[in-house]
Structure 1
Amino acid sequence: MSEPLRVLMVEDQEELREMIGQALNDFGFDVHTANDGPHALQLIDETGDFNIVFSDVNMPNNMSGLELSAHVAEALPNARMILSSGYARSQLPPLPPHVEFIAKPYRLRQLIELLKNPAPAA
């Protein structure tokens, strides 16, 4: 049996972070959570190899999901980076080519499918 995908979920809304994190654990993912970008970087430094980093675009504490994605690309070059936002993709700054996107509100099933299957390159 293969190892479960290690997911770092970065979400500043505590209830959403706990609910989605627990649901993903229930579906067999190895989920770690962070409440902002600096906390996510600390976890990456401490625990190392994540397969996927999933973050909201708009985050507190002076680090957006876009800024986090640049750090992830450097620290975890083989990890997938997925950003989510309640804003339409057209309302956001251009996303780097390596970043995947899922719009909020998303259904849990949509998120699980995206985590298991990388989106085709645009």
Structure 2
Amino acid sequence: MLAALGYHVTSATNAAEALEVIHTDAPIDLLFTDVVMPGGVSGVSLARTAREIRPDLRVLLTSGFVGEGAVIEDAEFPLLDKPYETALLAAKLRKLLDKPPAAGRRKKSRAAAAE
């Protein structure tokens, strides 16, 4: 879906692979990750670690588990409930990416997705 929307996507199959990418100098605008992932690390934990490495990184979480939103409702990252349509994903991404960077944030130019 991300590629179909025109984004350059770097995929990772788990948090460890995602962090390998995040540790590089590759330009990344956004981390899009499922809350529940293989490998024992949640998407929330991945997002928090990624933000420690790249404080300017924008994050969008997704989950298909009923009630997951309530569990992480107060979390610092927005959540997109599954299933979702391409138009809703596109709107969420634009809202996040068009938001002015917080003070001290650097501009990046790509998205990374971890599932």
Match of 1:54 among 15, 32, 37: 32
Match of 1:80 in 2: 58
Q: Alignment partner of 1:78: what SS?
A: coil
Unaligned runs of 5+ residues in structure 2 are: 100-115
Indicate the larger mover: 107-116 or 43-52: 43-52
The question of 1:114 aligning with 2:92 is answered yes
Cα-Cα RMSD? 2.0
Distance 1:117 1:38, change over 3 A: same
Aligned-partner Cα distance in 2 for 1:71–1:117: 23
Cα distance between partner residues in 1 of 2:25 and 2:10: 10
Percent identity reads: 27
2:27 is aligned with 1:40? no
Query: TM-score, normalization: structure 1?
Result: 0.70
Q: Give deviations 1:2-52, integer Å, cap 9, x for gaps.
A: xxxxxxxxxxxxxxxxxx3xxx22322111111111110011113433110
Distance 1:105 1:111 in 2: 10
Structure 1 counterpart of 2:44, one-letter code: L
Aligned length: 96
Q: Give every structure 1 segment of 4 or more consecutive aligned residues whose post-TM-superposition deviation is greater than 6 Å.
A: none
Partner SS state of residue 93, structure 2: helix
Gaps of 5+ in 1: 1-19
Q: Which has the higher contact order (CA 8 A, sep 6+)?
A: 2
Residue 70 of structure 1 corresponds to 48
| Larger helix fraction of residues | 1
